[in-house]
Amino acid sequence: ETGVTQTPRHLVMGMTNKKSLKCEQHLGHNAMYWYKQSAKKPLELMFVYNFKEQTENNSVPSRFSPECPNSSHLFLHLHTLQPEDSALYLCASSQELAGVSSRADTQYFGPGTRLTVL
Protein backbone atom coordinates (compact mmCIF):
# COMPACT_ATOMS: atom_id res chain seq x y z
CA GLU A 1 0.00 0.00 0.00
CA THR A 2 1.38 3.45 -0.88
CA GLY A 3 -1.55 5.73 -0.03
CA VAL A 4 -0.07 6.87 3.30
CA THR A 5 3.68 6.69 3.81
CA GLN A 6 5.78 7.33 6.88
CA THR A 7 9.50 7.88 7.35
CA PRO A 8 11.58 6.71 8.99
CA ARG A 9 10.18 3.25 9.69
CA HIS A 10 12.48 2.79 12.68
CA LEU A 11 14.14 5.40 14.89
CA VAL A 12 16.38 5.11 17.91
CA MET A 13 17.16 8.32 19.75
CA GLY A 14 18.61 9.55 23.00
CA MET A 15 16.64 11.68 25.42
CA THR A 16 18.51 14.84 24.37
CA ASN A 17 18.12 14.36 20.63
CA LYS A 18 15.81 16.25 18.29
CA LYS A 19 14.22 14.25 15.51
CA SER A 20 11.20 14.48 13.23
CA LEU A 21 8.73 11.95 11.90
CA LYS A 22 7.22 12.51 8.48
CA CYS A 23 3.90 11.42 7.05
CA GLU A 24 2.72 11.91 3.50
CA GLN A 25 -0.60 10.97 1.96
CA HIS A 26 -1.27 10.68 -1.75
CA LEU A 27 -5.03 10.28 -1.46
CA GLY A 28 -6.16 13.90 -1.69
CA HIS A 29 -7.51 13.78 1.87
CA ASN A 30 -8.22 16.83 4.01
CA ALA A 31 -7.78 15.40 7.51
CA MET A 32 -4.62 13.90 9.01
CA TYR A 33 -3.98 12.30 12.38
CA TRP A 34 -1.12 11.22 14.65
CA TYR A 35 -1.61 8.20 16.91
CA LYS A 36 0.62 6.57 19.50
CA GLN A 37 0.39 2.80 19.81
CA SER A 38 1.97 1.10 22.81
CA ALA A 39 1.31 -2.03 24.79
CA LYS A 40 -0.28 -0.04 27.64
CA LYS A 41 -2.61 2.11 25.52
CA PRO A 42 -3.10 0.41 22.17
CA LEU A 43 -4.32 3.30 19.97
CA GLU A 44 -4.10 6.78 21.45
CA LEU A 45 -5.09 9.81 19.37
CA MET A 46 -2.52 12.60 19.68
CA PHE A 47 -3.30 15.31 17.11
CA VAL A 48 -5.82 15.99 14.36
CA TYR A 49 -5.47 18.41 11.48
CA ASN A 50 -8.25 19.39 9.10
CA PHE A 51 -7.37 21.54 6.08
CA LYS A 52 -3.97 22.22 7.71
CA GLU A 53 -5.57 23.54 10.90
CA GLN A 54 -5.13 21.69 14.18
CA THR A 55 -8.53 20.65 15.51
CA GLU A 56 -7.47 18.35 18.31
CA ASN A 57 -4.60 18.16 20.79
CA ASN A 58 -5.34 15.26 23.07
CA SER A 59 -3.38 16.62 26.06
CA VAL A 60 -0.08 15.68 24.45
CA PRO A 61 3.14 16.82 26.22
CA SER A 62 4.92 19.75 24.59
CA ARG A 63 7.96 17.58 23.78
CA PHE A 64 5.81 16.43 20.83
CA SER A 65 5.26 19.24 18.34
CA PRO A 66 3.17 18.64 15.20
CA GLU A 67 3.39 20.56 11.97
CA CYS A 68 1.10 20.44 8.96
CA PRO A 69 2.46 22.62 6.13
CA ASN A 70 -0.20 21.40 3.67
CA SER A 71 -2.97 18.82 3.47
CA SER A 72 -0.60 16.16 2.15
CA HIS A 73 2.17 16.36 4.73
CA LEU A 74 2.25 15.97 8.48
CA PHE A 75 5.28 16.08 10.73
CA LEU A 76 5.85 15.22 14.36
CA HIS A 77 8.86 16.97 15.86
CA LEU A 78 10.40 15.22 18.86
CA HIS A 79 12.53 16.89 21.52
CA THR A 80 13.83 15.67 24.92
CA LEU A 81 11.72 12.54 24.89
CA GLN A 82 11.48 10.04 27.72
CA PRO A 83 11.92 6.24 27.54
CA GLU A 84 8.16 5.85 28.10
CA ASP A 85 7.62 7.62 24.79
CA SER A 86 8.93 4.53 23.01
CA ALA A 87 6.07 3.24 20.88
CA LEU A 88 4.77 2.84 17.35
CA TYR A 89 3.67 6.22 15.96
CA LEU A 90 0.98 5.90 13.33
CA CYS A 91 -0.20 8.53 10.90
CA ALA A 92 -3.63 8.34 9.29
CA SER A 93 -5.68 10.40 6.85
CA SER A 94 -9.32 10.65 5.82
CA GLN A 95 -11.22 12.60 3.20
CA GLU A 96 -13.26 14.34 5.89
CA LEU A 97 -13.20 14.31 9.68
CA ALA A 98 -14.55 11.07 11.05
CA GLY A 99 -18.22 11.25 11.95
CA VAL A 100 -18.95 14.38 9.93
CA SER A 101 -19.57 13.02 6.46
CA SER A 102 -21.59 9.93 5.72
CA ARG A 103 -19.22 8.55 3.13
CA ALA A 104 -15.83 10.15 3.36
CA ASP A 105 -14.47 9.52 6.84
CA THR A 106 -12.72 6.18 6.54
CA GLN A 107 -9.23 6.50 8.01
CA TYR A 108 -6.26 5.07 6.15
CA PHE A 109 -3.21 4.36 8.25
CA GLY A 110 0.46 4.54 7.37
CA PRO A 111 2.88 1.73 8.29
CA GLY A 112 4.09 3.56 11.39
CA THR A 113 7.44 4.60 12.83
CA ARG A 114 8.81 2.33 15.55
CA LEU A 115 10.44 4.76 18.01
CA THR A 116 12.84 3.70 20.73
CA VAL A 117 14.04 6.29 23.25
CA LEU A 118 17.17 5.31 25.14
Partner 1 sequence: GENVEQHPSTLSVQEGDSAVIKCTYSDSASNYFPWYKQELGKRPQLIIDIRSNVGEKKDQRIAVTLNKTAKHFSLHITETQPEDSAVYFCASTGYSSASKIIFGSGTRLSIRP
Judged by the rule CB under 8 A, the positions of this chain that interact with partner 1 are: 1, 31, 33, 41-45, 48, 50, 55-56, 58, 90, 97-100, 102, 105-112
Please, which residue, 9 or 18, has the CB nearer to partner 1? 9
Residues sharing a CB contact under 8 Å with residue 102, sequence separation 6 or more, in sequence order: none
Least Å from the CB of residue 61 to partner 1: 18
Least Å from the CB of residue 71 to partner 1: 15
Please, which residue, 17 or 44, has the CB nearer to partner 1? 44
Least Å from the CB of residue 118 to partner 1: 22
Evaluate whether 56 touches 45 at the Cβ level (below 8 Å): yes
Within 13 A of 53's CA, how many CA atoms are on the CB side? Answer: 4
Alpha-carbon gap, residue 97 to 32, rounded angstroms: 9
